[in-house]
Amino acid sequence: MIDLYTWSTPNGRRAPIMLEECGLAYTPHYLELAKHEHKTEEMKKINWDQRIPVIVDPDGPDGKPIAVSESCAILLYLAEKTGKLLPTSGAARVEAQKWLFFAATNVGPAATQHFWLPTKSKLKGGLPPVEPFVDLFNDELKRLYGAMDGRLGEVEYLAGDYSIADIAAYVWVWRRFQQKIDLAAYPNLNRWFMAVNARPAVQKGEQIPPRNDGL
């Protein structure tokens, strides 16, 4: 049985959504970030970065246990393990990897900074003033959503067929209200968002842990 260490954040939800999509049995362990439950020596043993999500698979490569951190590495690991949601070769695989990295290196970081800068500044007594930078990250998110909207005007899902790239991007688009982005301005992205959201595995994975952020 796979152990999943996670919390209710976009990166944290990538792992349970994929576990559900793959139909793999897993035991969730919730680490409340505000209580620093992820900053333990036990966590350091499975992830030097001491961040969530992490999975520990007792049946890893060569039948040996393995700990996997980095949410998109978890998506890739589970896709390779099960043969699901990542084409095995050809242009379709390249496309899925391209959009996976688009979500991992563009959407995720821009959304993270947009979300975290005000909190970090508040912790430091409002210094430095971050509002102009928050606006810049909001502009960048809109640019990225525009790119996805264009792509999704050509194909149903980011890589053509539904893939791990969609899971990687979806969890951050879900934060649309906090990002003050109206998906009505991105009709193809909105259609895609509703389609991903309607998947039973996504519905189940999104409740690991149960939502309490009201977004």
Ligand X SMILES: N[C@@H](CCC(=O)N[C@@H](CS)C(=O)NCC(=O)O)C(=O)O
- Give the containing element (helix H, strand E) for 68: strand 66-69
Q: How far is the CB of 184 from ligand X (least distance, A)?
A: 27
Q: Cα–Cα distance between 148 and 69 in angstroms, integer? A: 26
Which residue number is nearest to ligand X in terms of Cβ?
51
Q: Cα–Cα distance between 84 and 167 in angstroms, integer? A: 13
Which residues between 15 and 74 bind ligand X (CB under 6 A)?
A: 33, 38, 51-52, 70-72
Q: How far is the CB of 44 from ligand X (least distance, A)?
A: 12
Contact between 106 and ligand X by CB under 6 A: the answer reads: no
CA 154-159-56 angle, 5° bins: 155
Q: How far is the CB of 199 from ligand X (least distance, A)?
A: 21
Taking CB under 6 A as the criterion, the residue among 12, 16, 205, 209 binding ligand X is 12
Amino acid symbol at 66:
I
Comparison of 152 and 167: residue with beta carbon closer to ligand X: 167
Q: How far is the CB of 14 from ligand X (least distance, A)?
A: 7
Which residues between 116 and 155 bind ligand X (CB under 6 A)?
A: none
Which residues make up the interface to ligand X (CB under 6 A)?
9, 11-12, 33, 38, 51-52, 70-72
